[in-house]
Structure 1
């Protein structure tokens, strides 16, 4: 029987647990209560103001049925607003509030530090190679995910 400590799935789960803990610690140090998914949502909305929830879900590879809860919490925290679409009165689009923009920019250095901490067990050349291989491996199974990443057009 294979040792679980050599199984990619087990190692990825452990690495994910550590990465979330590192992210939360850095963000909490600045007095914020934000999850990695909430941060990713804010970053994508800033990059593409006026996107809808379905598009947001695809851009951060998050389940379409649960993205609503993420958006609801960000609206409650007054980081973003839902507005009626200018092109489709039935649709709602997402835009950052001034507080959302400020929060995103204040957190950016801490989030970058968190990323570096996550890679701290590797040499600099290994870090870039690890990220490249992780992107490649993730792309290879993207369509098997219940929430595949959808690239922008």
Structure 2
């Protein structure tokens, strides 16, 4: 019996390729940053003062573990947290000067590595893949 090609398996493998490619490029560039940390930095840059739950929602990440991601970014000096004036239970997050600088430096690297993730596809196939992936996700 021939094994079926399953969407879930291909998506998992593509995620592994994406994560590995991201890690290689970050390491080559001298940064210790995971894809989730990058996504959080990018979300915080887009919405300064966002709370941790908002970051989790923006990057589709587990609310229970986003605190650890933010902790690591804070330890690296990339973000600052403060208690919200509107809700004392919430912590607002902002990029630090260092975080803004790092994000500015790595954005071109992350943009460039996107082609490496889909390196086996030509330009038209990449466009089609992105169109279909967006349709499946949104």
Q: TM-score, normalised by structure 1?
A: 0.85
Unaligned ranges ≥5, structure 2:
none
Other-structure match for 1:69:
68
Deviation at 1:91, TM superposition (A): 2.4
The alignment partner of 1:95 has SS state of strand
CA distance in 1, matches of 2:25, 2:46: 23
Q: Specify the alignment match of 1:124 in structure 2.
A: 123
Structure 1 vs Structure 2 CA RMSD: 1.3
SS for the counterpart of 1:81 is strand
1:101-140 CA-to-partner distances (Å, cap 9, x unmatched) read 011111111111111111221121211110111111123x
**Compared CA separation, residues 2 and 76, structure 1 to 2 (3 A):** farther
Name the structure 2 match of 1:3.
3
Structure 1 residues 63-113: Cα deviation after superposition (integer angstroms, max 9, x where no partner)? 110111111111111100101223333421000001100111111111111
**Could you say what secondary structure the match of 1:70 adopts?**
helix
- Structure with more relative contact order (C-alpha pairs < 8 Å, separation 6 or more): 1
Q: Could you say which residue in structure 1 is the equivalent of 2:53?
A: 54
**Number of residue pairs aligned between Structure 1 and Structure 2:** 138
Q: 1:2: Cα distance to partner? A: 5.3
